[in-house]
Structure 1
Amino acid sequence: MQSYFQQLAAAVCTPIAGADRVTLYFSAESSDFIRFNHAQVRQATHVDQRYGTVSVVAGQKRASSSISLGGDLAADTADLLAERTALLAQLPLVPDDAYLLQPDAVVHTERSATGTLPTPAQLIAAVAEHAAGTDLVGFYAAGSVVRAFADSRGQRNWHSVESFHFDWCLYREKDQAVKCSYAGTDWHTPEFARRVQEARTRLALLALPPKTLAPGAYRVYFSPVAVAELLGTLAWGGFGLKDLKTGTSTLLLAHQGKAALSPLLTLTEATAEGIAPRFQSDGFTKPDAVALVRAGQMAASLTAPRSAVEYGMPTNGCGEGESPESLAMAAGPLPEAEVLQTLGTGVFISNLHYLNYSDRQACRMTGMTRFACFWVEDGKIVAPIPVMRFDDSFLRMFGPGLVALTDHAELVPADGTYGARQLQSITAPGAIVEGFALTL
């Protein structure tokens, strides 16, 4: 597919009269999707799709158009050239954009990560063997995802990753289930089998008599997936320069020195370690890493090109929404094997959902516990707990409330497939937090 894109770019991204620059942004995927119920296949399909966005720029004017592509080089080239001609005719009618910024330097990047993925038949066989006798309900997505950029100055950026993501639950009854996931670029059936067996063990614990907790403040352990849910909410307006400058950043109190994050907390936009591309649709490239919080101290903000112009700051190549795409929380010293012992007495939280802000200015988040969450006494799981709502501030939880972080951070890729598979990810360790507010 890289040769196909290069030939499209060579035809479309040429200097033309009436435009200072022509760009082409390309996205594609070739994915298998398999849905399971009762550990049996309920739906299986394969999707191939390609899209091209061509833009023409003159001065402070830009016109863009996106079309779907069929994979036939001659036909796709003709369609993109027709779009380019139409955009060029429309360009004089487009108003100037005061915040339009284009990259000055020509920076080439290339990443082609070939994975080891199971065939659909191999995946189905693994589920049939290792989840036999369970009500496994899940969704598997795998294949290659491509992003690419080219412009008429000769810049070329290519990003291709083969990966898989399998989300599943082992369902017991009513609202009781254990949620699991396995994701990466190299599939190993023994690792999948280990995770299924671990889920079977937790499923058995759900049969214990439940313990109902009164609303109050509890010592809790958040699994890496639960921490990733909290970080995903924090990404909605926590790290962007525009949010900071307009006073709407959810981390504003930390920036102002009115709230102190824990020195255990370090957050980084770790592009080099993630699966998202190192460039965005305008051709700006990203540094390997941007420190957002360093040992509890606020560091840099994510700065999109438009915000860079508006506020006179250099851009670090993030997208227009100024949200992280490869957010990583640094691990701590707590061995995973010592989590229950260190928790002592409290709540083991496997998953959270329905998260949102209850007070953006205070960085307060609300949501629900989900799936297999347990009451722990003296370092031992003794009972499952019913679903509960929480309402607490991230600034408190990961400030004075943060007790420890585990020594292993888990990559949690975005599981969205609406329109296309996504390349965002969050890497997070588990966390023990004191005083977590369960409200009902």
Structure 2
Amino acid sequence: MSAETVEQVAARVLASAKAAAKDAEIRVDVRRTGAANVRFAKNEVTTSGEYDELALSVWIGLGKRAAWASTNQSDPRSVAALVDRALAMARLSPEDPETMPLLSPQTYGTSAAYDDRLAAMTPAERAAIAGRAIAAGDAAKVQIAGFLQRRVTDHAIASSTGLAARHRETSATYTVTARTLDASGSGWAGREIHRATDLDDASLARVAIDKAARSASAKPIPPGKYTVILEPQAVAELLMFLPDAMNLRSVDEGRSYFTGKTSEKVFADFVRLESDPTSPLTPGSPFDAEGMALAPQTWIESGRAKDLFVSRFWAQQKGGGVKPTGHHTIHRLSGGSAASLDDIVKDTKRGLLVTRFWYNRMLEPQTVMVTGLTRDGLFLVEDGKITAPLTNFRYNESPITMLRNVDAMTKSTVRVPVWGGTWHVPALRTNEFTMASPSAAV
């Protein structure tokens, strides 16, 4: 891979595109990703690997006609072909009335999302993490599997309007699953981190093994509405469906749950949902895919939807001082006062403790109704104690209902591995949660 920085690549490609398309608006996006992983299953390492890749894209706008073209090559010949392809597609594209002009130069906040130690994680260190989990599984006489991946991302944007942005970050995802030898019990634990010191891999392995042992030989209980204690992973897997509903355009066009409800209390008073990539608690890119600087946003406060996502186009359509929010992908749910998950369990008369959800899918966007399955540890809580493992359920529930009926939440939050953005969430207890039908899987 070229020794050029992503900023240098972006500047060179922009110059080439300007020469070929003198009257066009041009945005260049360069992302270099280095990833390294180790995978283990049935108590032995199965694969280990590393890769480095370059993703290079050029956007060309000709008035309301625009097109993207992408490649993974940055040599001059490939860049020239990339620019020619983007320009040809832009000329052929129909006019899009929602195409927006490129942004002018922005001022970005500082983000502490890069960790030298995590970036330098070696194959031996990854192997040691896998080895500790395998040794713990062997000692407990369970089958153990897991996946650790470390990523280093270097991202730059440059445009014909003078915008220039760069962001570097590190992250790692570690998940562990343990199964009893008779396959009647399963446990899981996982975290996502941006600093090497935040990964307590031994603790995660212990949690997965303990859940596997405690969930063996589960008993069924009837479907119905239950008080549930959701561990952070379960919270995020349901909550990640909420941001799409908190969109001003969807609200204005009558396609959102929040249509006609933006002034109503629809959540518990203490719930707070916010995004701030410059916060040391939730570091991330200080700009979005268009290069727009991301200001802190509070989406939920005092029981109401305080802010809604606003695109640049919709802000222009609305006028009247409505400002675009930028596309935030990092979210933090907070507002709780409980010291720990154990304290919530001890304070629960009767309920279900949920480790995580799986195979989650949207059922009805208008109500943000989601369906999925409990997995890897579902337990009955009675009089403040975990009393029995339970067979799994299919749930049908909305994150809005979850946050309306919540009555306890841990003060601390953790970053968990989910596909729908980056989520920092607490554990919480909520009521009237719909467990719709039994699920036979462990």
TM-score class, shorter-chain normalisation, is 0.7 to 0.9
Match of 1:245 in 2: 252
1:434 corresponds to which of 428, 431, 436? 431
Tell me the distance in 1 between the aligned counterparts of 2:232 and 2:417.
12
**Paired position in structure 1 for 2:338:** 334
* Aligned match of 1:306: 313
What pairs with 1:140-151 in structure 2 (closer than 5 Å)? 140-151=148-159
The alpha-carbon deviation at position 412 of structure 1 amounts to: 1.7
Change (3 A) 1:189 1:264: closer
Runs of 4 or more above 6 Å deviation: none
Structure 1 pair 93/357, CA: closer, same or farther in 2 (3 Å)?
closer
2:69 is aligned to 65
CA separation in 2, counterparts of 1:18 and 1:128?
57
CA apart distance, 1:102: 2.7
Please, which of 207, 222, 225 is the counterpart of residue 214 of structure 1? 222
Is residue 115–residue 185 contact of structure 1 (8 Å, CA) maintained in 2?
A: no
- In structure 2, give the amino acid aligned to 1:439: A
More off after superposition, 211-220 vs 273-282? 273-282
Which of the residues 258, 265, 269 maps onto 1:263? 269
Q: 1:406 pairs with 403, 410, 426, which one? A: 410
Contact map agreement 2:409 2:426 (CA 8 A) in 1: yes
Change (3 A) 1:41 1:275: farther
Q: Deviations over 1:329-354 (max 9, x none)?
A: 11410110412111232111111122
Residue in 2 that maps onto 1:392: 397
Aligned match of 2:32 in 24, 28, 31? 28
Kindly provide the CA deviation profile for residues 255-298 of structure 1, in whole angstroms up to 9, marking residues without a partner as x.
363x62111211113332445422233322221x2111112111
Give the alignment's Cα RMSD to 1 decimal: 2.6
Q: What is the CA distance between 1:108 and its match in structure 2?
A: 5.0
The aligned amino acid for 2:172 is F
Distance in 2 of aligned mates of 1:194 and 1:413: 16
Task: Give the equivalent residue in structure 2 for 1:13.
Answer: 14
C-alpha change, 1:84 and 1:129, in structure 2 (3 Å) is closer
Aligned residue type for 1:225 = Q
Alpha-carbon distance in structure 2 between the residues aligned to 1:151 and 1:77:
18
Q: Supply the distance in 1 between the matched residues of 2:370 and 2:90 (Cα, whole angstroms).
A: 44
* Contact 2:242 2:400 (C-alpha < 8 Å) held by counterparts: no
Amino acid paired to 2:247: G
Deviation at residue 189 of structure 1 after TM alignment = 9.3
Question: 2:440 — aligned with what?
Answer: none
Report the alpha carbon displacement of residue 251 of structure 1 after superposing the two structures with TM: 3.8
Aligned residues of 1:253 and 1:362 also touching (Cα < 8 A): no
What CA distance in whole angstroms lies between the structure 2 residues aligned with 1:163 and 1:395? 29
Q: CA deviation at 1:309?
A: 3.7
| TM-score normalised according to structure 1 size | 0.87
Please state how far the C-alpha of 1:29 moved relative to its aligned partner: 0.8
1:384 positional shift: 0.6
Distance 1:154 1:290 in 2: 26
Are the aligned partners of 1:147 and 1:277 in contact in 2 as well (CA < 8 Å)? no
AA aligned to 1:26 is V
1:129 equivalent to 2:132? Answer: yes
Name the CA distance, whole Å, in 2 between partners of 1:189 and 1:264. 27
The 1:93–1:350 alpha-carbon spacing in structure 2 relative to 1, beyond 3 Å, is closer
- Separation (CA, whole Å) in 2 of partners of 1:201 and 1:92: 60
1:186 alignment partner AA? R
Q: Are the aligned partners of 1:331 and 1:408 in contact in 2 as well (CA < 8 Å)?
A: no
SS for the counterpart of 1:131 is: helix
Query: Equivalent of 1:225, from 230, 233, 240?
Result: 233
Secondary structure at the aligned position of 1:225 is classed as: helix
Q: How does 1:73-152 map to 2 (within 5 A)?
A: 76-88=75-87, 91-109=90-108, 113-117=114-118, 118-132=121-135, 133=138, 134-152=142-160
Question: 1:177: how far off?
Answer: 1.1
Q: Please state whether the residue corresponding to 1:197 is helix, strand or coil.
A: helix
Letter in 1 for 2:274: T
- Structure 2 Cα separation of the partners of residues 206 and 262 of structure 1: 32
Which residues in structure 2 correspond to 1:267-346 (within 5 Å)? Answer: 267-273=273-279, 274-287=282-295, 289-312=296-319, 313-318=322-327, 324-336=328-340, 337-346=342-351
TM-score normalised to the size of structure 2? 0.86
Distance 1:152 1:363, change over 3 A: closer
Task: Give how far 1:429 is off.
Answer: 0.7
Deviation at 1:166, TM superposition (A): 0.9
Structure 2 equivalent of residue 419 of structure 1: none
Q: Is residue 158 from structure 1 mapped to residue 163 from structure 2 by the alignment?
A: no
The structural deviation recorded for 1:367 is: 1.9
Counterpart residue type for residue 77 of structure 2: A
Q: Does the 8 Å contact 1:116/1:185 carry over to 2?
A: no
State the 1:389 CA deviation: 1.6
**Residues 366 and 141 (structure 1 numbering): CA distance in 2 closer, same or farther, change over 3 Å?**
same
C-alpha displacement of 1:311 = 4.0
Q: Secondary structure in 2 aligned to 1:12?
A: helix
Give the aligned partner of residue 72 of structure 1.
Answer: none
What amino acid maps onto 1:238 in structure 2? A
Q: 2-side partners of 1:143 and 1:359: how far apart?
A: 34
**What do residues 99-118 of structure 1 show as CA deviations (whole Å, max 9, x unaligned)?**
12134431154757134233
Paired residue secondary structure (1:47)? strand
Give the direction of change, closer, same or farther, for the CA distance of 1:34–1:85 in structure 2 (3 Å limit). same
1:160 maps to a residue whose letter is: R
Retained in 2: the 8 A contact 1:330–1:429? yes
Distance of 1:102 and 1:4 partners within structure 2: 27
Q: Check the 8 A contact 1:234/1:250 in 2, yes or no.
A: no
Residue 392 of structure 2 corresponds to residue 383 of structure 1 = no
Gap change, CA 1:344 and 1:90, over 3 Å in 2: closer
8 Å CA contact retained: 2:157, 2:164: yes
Question: 2:369 aligned with 1:361, yes or no?
Answer: no
The answer to whether the 8 A contact 1:226-1:349 is kept is yes
Compared CA separation, residues 388 and 253, structure 1 to 2 (3 A): farther
**Structure 1 counterpart of 2:39, one-letter code:** R
Equivalent residue, structure 2, for 1:420: none
What is the 5 A alignment of 1:29-68?
Answer: 29-68=33-72
Query: Runs of 5+ in structure 1 lacking a partner?
Result: 70-74, 319-323, 417-423
